[in-house]
Amino acid sequence: MNLASIPRQELPDILRRMPKAELHIHIEGSLEPELIFAMARRNGIELPYPSVEALRAAYAFTDLQSFLDIYYAGAGVLITEEDFFDMAWSYLVRAREENVIHSEIFFDPQTHTARGVPFAAVINGLDRAVRRGREELGLSASLILCFLRHLSEADALATLEQALPFRDKFIGVGLDSGERGNPPEKFAAVFGRCRELGLHLVAHAGEEGPARYISDALDLLKAERIDHGVRCLEDPALVARLAAEGVALTVCPLSNVKLKVFPELCRHNIGELLARGIVATINSDDPAYFGGYLNENFTAIFEALPELGAGEAYRLARNSFEASFVPEETRKGWIEGLDSFFAGCCAR
């Protein structure tokens, strides 16, 4: 397969059409302003914004915390099982249109249970959408429960207890929310317990927090993947370790620019991460808030970085399958499908 023979102008179309997995999407971050207004109306909730446009105009973030404030406020319209179903279904339909064939979806139960929404309403709504997605869209999807790191470990442990009766409805746990001042070690005990339970483990680290949080997430939490992780380049020994151990990073280019992790897309380090042999992937994070779903993240970053070509497109899609939590056989089948897709592109 001579990927170098593929002309650069064909890349946007190839990026959109190629099969891929998404491994870093917060389902609450897929809640579009239109859906926020529809749910507020049907649940009798008054929003502090007069219109969809006014709400969208408020999406001018200066950092992670300024985003989280508005993201948690938006999630306040989610009340019933139906709301959680509708949110997830709308994401899955969109993902299918973008040729996402597998998605590992984060959800933040504490954002909802703290408001009195039953845990069962959250997970049953999401699970119903995931199952319908498999059946009707042919899209493989699973759920990852995230603990909010600005809350206590005791709160995370209590959330895990609430989740255990639904153990078959999620495949792993993650760690999200404000990173600064909430280091991985704060959650070592709850991650230890999740590990004993056979859950997959991931953690946000090295988005706003230092490179040290990435190594601590690996050593103290035994995280199998790192969400974001882009600040690893500040520590050359860590970069060598990530590459040698094949630790995947779920990178989110549009999110990184909106939250000022990088000043502009053309300054993003995804090209360098790949060049150093890191298993990097592209993801949307919170697409309703950051200006694009998965394909928009791909096309925008490829347009911004001249060092990304067809070889990198193939590598990123392949990494997304290799880093996914599906059985080896499934992964192999998807990679064969990807190989045929790219062989077709070379032959044209």
Tell me which of Zn ion, ligand HPA, none is bound by residue 216, counting a contact when its beta carbon lies within the kind-specific cut-off of 5 to 8 angstroms: none
User: Token match 């709160």: residue?
Assistant: 155
> For residues 294 and 283, is the Cβ–Cβ distance under 8 A?
yes
Residues 6+ apart with CB under 8 A from 238: 211, 214, 215, 232
204 is in an annotated binding site: yes
- Among candidate residues 230, 304, 138, 75, the one with its CA nearest the CA of residue 296: 304
Half-sphere exposure of 118 (CA within 13 A, CB side): 8
3-class SS of residue 251: strand
81 is catalytic: no
58 φ, ψ to 5°?
-80, -5
> For residues 224 and 202, is the Cβ–Cβ distance under 8 A?
yes
Catalytic residue among 28, 179, 207, 312: 207
Sites for ligand HPA among residues 4-43 (CB under 6 A): 26, 29
- Shortest reach from residue 184's CB to ligand HPA, in Å: 13
Give one DSSP letter per residue of 247-285, joined into a string. Answer: -EEEE-HHHHHHTTSSSSGGG--HHHHHHTT-EEEE--B
Q: Which lies closer to ligand HPA via its Cβ, residue 110 or residue 324? A: 110
Q: Binding ligand HPA by CB under 6 A: which of 83, 104, 207, 312?
A: 207
Point out the residue whose Cβ comes nearest to Zn ion: 285
- Shortest reach from residue 170's CB to ligand HPA, in Å: 17
Q: Which lies closer to Zn ion via its Cβ, residue 283 or residue 319? A: 283
3-class SS of residue 200: strand
Q: Binding ligand HPA by CB under 6 A: which of 90, 110, 142, 177?
A: 177
Q: Binding ligand HPA by CB under 6 A: which of 255, 283, 284, 319?
A: 255
Q: Binding ligand HPA by CB under 6 A: which of 22, 81, 86, 176?
A: 176
How crowded is residue 265: how many other Cβ atoms within 10 Å of its Cβ? 17
Sites for ligand HPA among residues 41-100 (CB under 6 A): 64
Describe the crossing of helices 294-304 and 310-322 by its angle, rounded to 10 degrees. 140
26 is in an annotated binding site: yes
Kindly give the pairing relationship between strand 279-282 and strand 140-148.
Answer: unpaired
- Binding of residue 104 to ligand HPA (CB under 6 A): no
Q: Binding ligand HPA by CB under 6 A: which of 32, 81, 83, 286?
A: 286
- Shortest reach from residue 227's CB to Zn ion, in Å: 5
CA distance 278 to 135: 34
DSSP-assigned letter for residue 279: E
24 is in an annotated binding site: yes
Compute CA distances 83 → 41, 67, 80, 88, 212, whole Å.
Answer: 12, 22, 5, 9, 38
Q: Binding ligand HPA by CB under 6 A: which of 127, 285, 296, 312?
A: 285
286 is in an annotated binding site: yes
Sites for Zn ion among residues 282-321 (CB under 5 A): 285
Q: Annotated active-site positions, please? A: 207
Please give the residue ranges that form the binding site for ligand HPA (CB under 6 A): 26, 29, 64, 176-177, 204, 207, 255, 285-286
Q: Which positions make up the binding site for substrate? A: 286
Q: Which positions make up the binding site for Zn(2+)? A: 24, 26, 204, 285
